């Protein structure tokens, strides 16, 4: 019974998502002419593609976005990794001591 309800809910959600993707997104493969939500200006990705090798000095543009244009986000991600490792080690230390 629960499995039938879950399957029907998921099929309904899948149909809804496919309909929304067809109606509201720009066609697949149209990178600079986006117009998402009525925005008609110049895409920031195009601006970074033109300027990144000269301004940052690295040939890999994705790495220059990760470490130069968005360095704060990568610092936050390193903090999240550090916190998760601390949490896992602390949880298993408590488990070992209680199991005695």
Partner 1 sequence: MSLNYAVAMLLFALGIYCLLSKRNLIKMIMGLGIMTDGLHLFLISLGYRAGGIAAILTGEMLAGGGDLAARAVDPIPQALVLTSIVINICIVALALSLAIHVYRHYGTLNPFEVRRLRG
Partner 2 sequence: MTGMSLIVRTVSRLLLPFMLLFGAYVVLHGHLTPGGGFQGGVIIAASLLMLVLAHGMGRIQAAIDLLRLELAEALGGLILVGVGLAGVVVGVAKFYGHVLPLGTLGKLFSGGDLPLLNIGTGIKVAAGIALIFYAMLRMAGGEEL
For partner 2, the binding residues (CB under 8 A) are 53, 56-60, 62-64, 66-68, 71-72, 74-75, 78, 81-82, 84-85, 88-89, 91-93, 95-97, 99-100
**How far from chain centre, in Å, is Cα 39?**
21
Residue 38 Cβ vs partner 1, minimum distance, rounded to whole Å: 17
Instruction: Using the structure block, give the residue that is written with the tokens 């493969």.
Output: 29
32 is a site residue for partner 1 (CB under 8 A): yes
Q: How far is the CB of 51 from partner 2 (least distance, A)?
A: 13
For residues 58 and 65, what is the distance between their CA atoms, to the nearest angstrom?
10
Write the DSSP symbol of residue 26: P
């Amino acid at each position: 019974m629960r499995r039938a309800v879950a399957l029907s809910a998921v099929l309904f959600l899948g149909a809804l998502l496919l309909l929304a993707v067809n109606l509201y997104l720009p066609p697949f493969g149209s990178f600079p002419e986006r117009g998402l939500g009525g925005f008609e200006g110049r895409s920031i990705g195009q601006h970074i593609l033109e300027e990144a090798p000269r301004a940052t000095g690295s040939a890999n543009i994705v790495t220059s976005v990760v470490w130069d244009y968005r360095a704060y986000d990568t610092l936050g991600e390193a903090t999240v990794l550090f916190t998760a490792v601390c949490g896992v080690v602390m949880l298993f230390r408590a488990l070992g001591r209680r199991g005695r």
